Amino acid sequence: MNSNNNSSIDYTLIFIVLLLGIVSCFTLYSVQPYLGSEAQDNYFIKQIAWYVAGGLVVGGIMWIDYDRFRHISWYLYGAGMVTLLMLFFQFPPQIIHTANNATSWFIFPGIGTIQPAEFFKVFLVIALAHVMVSHNEKFKNRTNKSDLWLIAKIAIVSLPPMGLIAVQPDLGGFLVLAAIVACMVLVSGIRWRVLSAVTLLGLLIIGAAIGLSIMYPDTVGTTLEESVFKHVESRFYGWLDPEKYTESGYQLKKAMLAIGSGQLTGKGMRDFEVDVPERQTDMIFTAIAEQYGFIGASIVVTLLFLLIYRLIYIALQSNDEFGSFIITGLIGMFAFQIFQNIGMSVQLLPITGLPLPFLSYGGSSTLTYMIAIGLALNIRSRTKQYMFD
């Protein structure tokens, strides 16, 4: 057995995150003068501060055996649910913050805004990993009944927070939680025949919803307009035809123009000609592509790919079921957000308010990603390798 824990620290993963952090800070430094009156904060300095705080959090998580998180999983889940319920009931109103018609943040003097939905992504991963491990320990012999019971448990744990996040409204956060659940279900041990049946049922429901929207567009449109999801339809049409729906497709047109104008090698640092809304957060990829072109954007995409690859490697190396489930959930979180963020910038997917991991500015999101990396490093450092494994 290799008992040298120091050799198990994944310096490759640390190096990848460090490079992404450097790219993020330099990009925020370059876009700061172009943000105009909206730039009340120095995003470059604050992002460095968040990374430093995240590094301290990673050190704290590394100090604790990750198996301890299984014992406090329901406390984390419960704390996360309390914060989501506080946002739902908007209590206490003094610390509730609403922006872009979404009530998704707490605001604290000296700190700024905190988005509980970001932290809940990790809390849900830990809770679901605990549920799956406990179920598999109890039901050694898998049956259709036990598999359906596990699906029911996962639904009971996942649907309440997903619903609370959806009605904020935060469609992007809802989709990330759905991606986490889907990835963890795939490795939960549920047999493929049961998964196929459940997937087919889900596709039928989605197909029915699409069919109703096609058959009764006015009714469905009116219903959406009267709900918290009134922005969904306009964003969808703005994605399909940004030239026709100029208002809802404005951000997409600007994003594609910025990316295309970078061409192969880019215009150079701080050479911006296209004004893209939310360039420091959701649209930071456009700033990278405009400054450094296809080559620079490709390097960033490669770093993000290596991040996912390294997490997959850690999951495969782990010989503990709880650790493997946690890493799988984190892979789902990162992979979906990366694909969605870059995809929405090039009209591959509709625009949703999702940051690009480790690159977009944001205190809550950056801390969440660092917590996730802390868990991954923790699991990797405590994975024992045996000669006859």
Segment 48-74, tens digit of pLDDT: 999 999 999 999 999 999 999 999 999
Give me the phi and psi of 254, to 5 degrees please.
Answer: -65, -40
Q: DSSP letters along 89-117, please?
A: HT-SGGGEEEETTEEEEEEETTTEEE-HH
In the chain the first and final C-alpha atoms are separated, in Å, by 10
| Tens digits of residue pLDDT in 65-101 | 999 999 999 999 999 999 999 999 999 999 999 988 8
pLDDT (0 to 100) of residue 38: 55
pLDDT (0 to 100) of residue 33: 86
| Tens digits of residue pLDDT in 187-241 | 999 999 999 998 899 899 989 988 887 787 777 777 777 676 777 778 888 898 8
**Average pLDDT, integer, range 156-167:** 96
Q: What is d(CA 122, CA 372) in angstroms, rounded to the nearest whole number?
A: 7
Q: What is d(CA 10, CA 149) in angstroms, rounded to the nearest whole number?
A: 37
Query: Residue 37 — pLDDT band, cuts 50, 70, 90?
Result: low
Q: What is d(CA 242, CA 220) in angstroms, rounded to the nearest whole number?
A: 21
Contact 185, 177 (CB under 8 A): no
Q: What is the pTM of this model?
A: 0.93
pLDDT (0 to 100) of residue 34: 85
The percentage of the chain sitting over the pLDDT mark of 70, rounded to a whole number, equals 94
Number of helices (H) and strands (E), helices first, in the chain?
14, 3
Query: Residue 292 — pLDDT band, cuts 50, 70, 90?
Result: very high
Segments making up each domain of the chain, as ranges: 5-189+251-381
| Tens digits of residue pLDDT in 226-277 | 676 777 778 888 898 888 888 889 999 999 999 999 999 999 888 888 999 8
Bridge-based pairing state of the strands 102-108 and 112-114: antiparallel
Q: For the chain, what's the residue count?
A: 389
pLDDT (0 to 100) of residue 1: 41
